[in-house]
A and B are shown apart, each in its own frame.
Chain A
């Protein structure tokens, strides 16, 4: 019985885990496969034939590439804003002592614990009350995206900062580096990987958001909004091309980062 229990513990759990991973990857396989689909009709649900056309001319789908460009523009701006504001806040929360630090900590968690539909509708209520219902567009989307990316940046940078050994900075000070030099030559380089992963997270959150954006976009169409609109008419295969490119790009970035970390750890 104990031997059986041990075998179960050793192999069964691993097998179940891998099966769950398969469940998680199943849609990705479908997206990659369907990016090569030559659909027989707009409403087709099956793989009707192989073609390179979708990859050769992804912008043939009217309006799609414009929406991707808009999402990239918003994503980069929101990432810049949220990363700067969030990093400053993370430093304040980990490195500084002030009245109200504990409530400030809880405060940063609130947006992560609110359903998107509530945040989206409350922002819309604010914009409408402020008489901005005619001006919904790029700027209102950007304001919303910086807001919901902020918490994730703060949490990510905070984790990196909290793991930093304060003695390294003390050593720098002992070696006559002033506070400014210590920060830029010691602290910042050590925290930078955390800031970088926070920025990546912020970009992917912004690029992918639909629920909040949809409520506050006015006439603008971001990529997720384009996908939503297209899904009501029948899914064009070019959408899967963009999905595959996004997947491969992000995977490459993360694997390169992982390899880099491994190489540095070995040194």
Chain B
């Protein structure tokens, strides 16, 4: 990782080092055009589709009637799935933080020469397909699996069932399984930005904290945590946003009571209800944008980009 920091005294590669002129625009144009055509224009198309008259169909064509009622319909009909998506995504993000912080901290400060190898290990599980890994969780959490057997022997399944997290005597096809899968699938998106922030912290700051009679906990709270904040904010966003829109975990590890909003959108499109599906997509996007803006403002790190 030695190439990252320019050597001390190097001229700042700020605006002064940048070339002016037409070439910049020419280099930017192809990708900019592609993103505009296939990211921005589709968003506009999505919004206009969400205002079509829902009585149309693909075969007969849709009428653009400014049918704002689509939004009222989907909000009324799918409010529980929306709420559940954000609840599960929030829980998964919280658990990713809980699991990801010690791992990122251990790699940054305790791994020594094994640092790079451990970083490879963090992303290695992701070399194989998302779906295949999620299907593996079906097997791990199945009723015959050793995890369920062990939990059963410890009466933990009874506890989970009493809390309404699972069905009696099993783990799979439950809210618990869905959140476990979401946490698992998005954990590296938490660990990597956290590691990037933690790695920049000079370990001598910890010693300085100890020298000034701060307990390890106080040093952590007053020194490590504030310096790790940019990574934590980036990590929570990279975990929360995809988790809120995901439906693979809810479909493969959950039951009919754990349906998330992604499934609903997917099914509405499959069933040909394009206006409602589009309206629901817009709602999801708007809620996420509002939450993210609010969160970034609260966290006080507007210079993420």
- Give the interface of A toward B (CB within 8 A): 2, 5-6, 8-10, 13-14, 16-18, 20-21, 23-28, 30-31, 34, 45-46, 84-86, 88-89, 91-98, 101, 104-119, 121-126, 128-129, 133, 143-144, 146-147, 150-151, 154, 159-160, 162-167, 204, 207-208, 210-211, 214-215, 223-224, 227-228, 231, 235, 239-240, 242-244, 246-247, 249-251, 254-255, 258, 265
- Identify 16 residue pairs between A and B in the complex whose beta-carbon atoms are under 8 Å apart, listed by A's number: A17-B118, A23-B99, A30-B136, A89-B27, A89-B31, A92-B27, A96-B23, A98-B25, A113-B237, A115-B246, A118-B281, A122-B278, A146-B38, A165-B7, A231-B135, A250-B124
Partner of B13, one of A9, A162, A215: A162
Partner of A98, one of B24, B41, B237: B24
Known: A89-B27, A243-B133, A254-B120. 15 other contacts (CB 8 A): A14-B110, A27-B136, A85-B30, A92-B28, A93-B28, A97-B18, A117-B246, A121-B281, A143-B38, A144-B38, A150-B34, A151-B35, A211-B247, A254-B123, A254-B127
Partner of B127, one of A10, A113, A242, A247: A247
Partner of A95, one of B18, B102, B139, B266: B18
User: Which secondary structure characterizes the binding site on chain B?
Assistant: helix
B6 at the interface (CB under 8 A from A): yes
Q: Is the CB of A97 within 8 A of B15?
A: yes
Q: Is the CB of B269 within 8 A of A124?
A: yes
Q: Which residue of A lies closest to B58 (CB)?
A: A133
Q: Is the CB of B34 within 8 A of A85?
A: yes
Residues of B within 8 A of A126 (CB): 38, 41-42, 45-46
B10 at the interface (CB under 8 A from A): yes
Q: Which residue of B lies closest to A253 (CB)?
A: B127
Q: Is the CB of A247 within 8 A of B34?
A: no
B216 at the interface (CB under 8 A from A): yes
Partner of B140, one of A27, A117, A224: A27
Q: Which residue of A lies closest to B117 (CB)?
A: A258
B80 at the interface (CB under 8 A from A): no
**Interchain Cβ contacts within 8 Å, total number:** 307
Residues of B within 8 A of A125 (CB): 42, 45-46, 48-49, 274, 278
CB contact list, B71-92 vs A, under 8 A: none
Residues of A within 8 A of B281 (CB): 117-118, 121-122
Which of the candidate stretches B152-160, B161-169, B284-292 sits at the interface with the other chain? Answer: B284-292
The complex places the Cα of A145 from the Cα of B178 at a distance, in Å, of: 27
B107 at the interface (CB under 8 A from A): yes
Q: Which residue of A lies closest to B64 (CB)?
A: A129
Query: How big is the B interface, by class?
Result: 35 or more
Q: Which residue of A lies closest to B131 (CB)?
A: A227
Residues of B within 8 A of A112 (CB): 238
Q: Which residue of A lies closest to B252 (CB)?
A: A231
The complex places the Cα of A88 from the Cα of B262 at a distance, in Å, of: 34
For the complex formed, measure the closest distance between the CB of A174 and the CB atoms of chain B, giving whole angstroms.
14
Q: Which residue of B lies closest to A8 (CB)?
A: B216
Q: Is the CB of B245 within 8 A of A96?
A: no
CB contact list, B88-122 vs A, under 8 A: 99-100, 102-103, 105-107, 110-111, 116-118, 120-122
CB contact list, B1-49 vs A, under 8 A: 2-7, 10-11, 13, 15, 17-21, 23-25, 27-28, 30-32, 34-35, 38-39, 41-43, 45-46, 48-49
Residues of A within 8 A of B2 (CB): 265
Q: Is the CB of A114 within 8 A of B140?
A: no
For the complex formed, measure the closest distance between the CB of B118 and the CB atoms of chain A, giving whole angstroms.
7
Residues of A within 8 A of B212 (CB): none
The complex places the Cα of A242 from the Cα of B132 at a distance, in Å, of: 9
Q: Is the CB of B131 within 8 A of A228?
A: yes
Residues of B within 8 A of A244 (CB): 128
For the complex formed, measure the closest distance between the CB of B176 and the CB atoms of chain A, giving whole angstroms.
15
Residues of B within 8 A of A166 (CB): 10-11, 13, 17
Residues of B within 8 A of A20 (CB): 99-100, 102-103, 187
Q: Is the CB of A10 within 8 A of B110?
A: yes
B151 at the interface (CB under 8 A from A): no
Contact with A along B231-263 (1 / 0, CB 8 A): 000000110011011111000100000000110
The complex places the Cα of A117 from the Cα of B283 at a distance, in Å, of: 12
B300 at the interface (CB under 8 A from A): no
Q: Is the CB of A45 within 8 A of B142?
A: yes
B125 at the interface (CB under 8 A from A): yes
The complex places the Cα of A94 from the Cα of B23 at a distance, in Å, of: 13
Residues of A within 8 A of B42 (CB): 119, 122-123, 125-126
Answer whether A211 and B241 are a contact pair too, CB < 8 Å, given A251-B127, A254-B120.
no
The complex places the Cα of A250 from the Cα of B188 at a distance, in Å, of: 16
Q: Is the CB of B19 within 8 A of A97?
A: yes
Q: Is the CB of A208 within 8 A of B130?
A: yes
Residues of A within 8 A of B21 (CB): 96, 98
